[in-house]
Copies of this chain bind each other. A is one copy, B any other.
Amino acid sequence: MPGRNHLFVPGPTNIPDAILNAMHVPMEDHRRPDFPELIKPLLEDLKKIFRTEAGQCFIFPATGTAGWEIALTNTLSPGDKVLAYRFGQFSHLWIDLARRIGLEVECVEVPWGQGVPLDRLEQRLEADSAHEIKALLICHNETATGVTSDLAGVRRALDAAKHPALFLVDGVSSVASLDFRLDEWGIDVGLAGSQKGFMLPAGLALLAFSPKALAARHRAKCRRGFLDIQDHIAQNADGYFPYTPSIPLLYGLRKAIDLLLEEGLEQVYARHARLAEGVRRAVAAWGLKLCAQEPKWYSDTVSAILVPEGFDARDVMHCAYHRYHLSLGAGLGELAGKVFRIGHLGDLNELMLASAITGTEMALRDCGIPVTPGSGIAAAAEYWRETAPPLAPRR
């Protein structure tokens, strides 16, 4: 099939050529004497992305799923009670994993399309005067529904209740794309994967631990082998890893962090917000609704879009993929067939999203869903035009 594929799932995201090239390297000895010159600054600069100075970052040769487990097993013991909110497939899976490794999860069901209910959270924390809840498991951005929760609000709830629970955050589809502040928000573990905002292939679980979370490892009795941060702490101090790292991903991560810091994190967040709003304008122009139920939940990295009653979102995706080489994200779990998703995170600009919007519109019409031709892109493009930075006139 001629021409480029158009990848708009919410991860893996499009990899910039500069990163692909940075990963195209011969292998090298990960015990070489000058390897720390690569690793030490990398671990330090990764902290800037998580926005922590007090904490410590880890790079595991694994995925975000491993990140969930690292966050839990290095801070908790079997039988510990944790509080979690279930409002999408990924919050669901984290809860499932927590149970499988022996934690007692108090799972609060929240309608899919909403995020963490701060009022109920605060009440629950205040009620837990015995501090039986050892940790909160919060999915910052629920990738399945396109819902972003208010982490600053969670911290306020914890503070209001004077509750010492660890604040563990899945930032897989938020870190490096959405505003995320480990230190300021008192997050104890933030975890991410390489294949979203970091614009890399999957293969790295990236984590930041607060000093409190680091200290918790000494008491945490969950069995740990491959995923034990202790081995990393020991080796990272000298600029090495406890087992063979992926050389290409380390160089890729170096380049990714460079790109993010060059653009500036605030600008990265602003870019995501502006591009996302364009997509939402298109959705509105089509007369469709987001899964996210209120603007306060809208995610700037992924939009889950409901198809009208009587249609199956999988037909839209089928058509988009086979006819227009456009990959959209599927509805997951209880949303299967009800939504499709447009990922708008990572290395993107307006005209890349123009492909996604146009292709979606074509697929919607092919499936008989009545949207006005050109309406989506007109709404998005006008928004982007209005919010474009000023341009110096041609010399």
Contacts and interface: CB of A to CB of B under 8 A. Distances in A.
A125 B386 CA distance: 58
A3 B222 contact: no
A101 B321 CA distance: 44
A63 B381 contact: no
A112 to B, nearest CB: 19
Nearest to A249: B203
Contacts of A326: 351
Given A7-B27, A228-B100, A318-B33, A351 B324 contact: yes
A104 to B, nearest CB: 14
A257 to B, nearest CB: 14
A87 to B, nearest CB: 20
A24 B21 contact: yes
Band of interface residues on A: 35 or more
Interface stretch (A12-20, A38-46, A163-171, A182-190): A12-20
Contact of A243 (B21, B25, B65, B323): B65
A12 B244 contact: yes
A62 B64 contact: no
A226 B227 contact: yes
A143 to B, nearest CB: 11
A208 to B, nearest CB: 19
Contacts of A225: 65, 68-69, 97, 100-101
Interface string A210-229: 00000000000011111110
A248 interface: yes
A301 to B, nearest CB: 14
A273 to B, nearest CB: 13
B28 A7 contact: yes
Contacts of A100: 223-225, 228
A7 B29 contact: yes
Contact of A351 (B203, B358, B366): B358
Contact of A327 (B32, B202, B322, B355): B32
A293 interface: no
Nearest to A21: B21
Interface string A306-343: 00000000110011011111110110000000000000
Interface string A342-375: 0000011111101110110110011000001111
B63 A226 contact: yes
A349 B323 contact: no
Nearest to A222: B223
Nearest to A205: B226
B3 A223 contact: no
A292 interface: no
A377 interface: yes
18 contacts: A1-B349, A2-B259, A3-B14, A12-B247, A13-B27, A33-B321, A61-B62, A61-B63, A68-B226, A100-B223, A102-B223, A226-B227, A324-B349, A351-B356, A354-B355, A362-B384, A373-B382, A374-B378
Given A63-B226, A375-B378, 5 more contacts: A3-B348, A24-B24, A203-B249, A322-B391, A323-B389
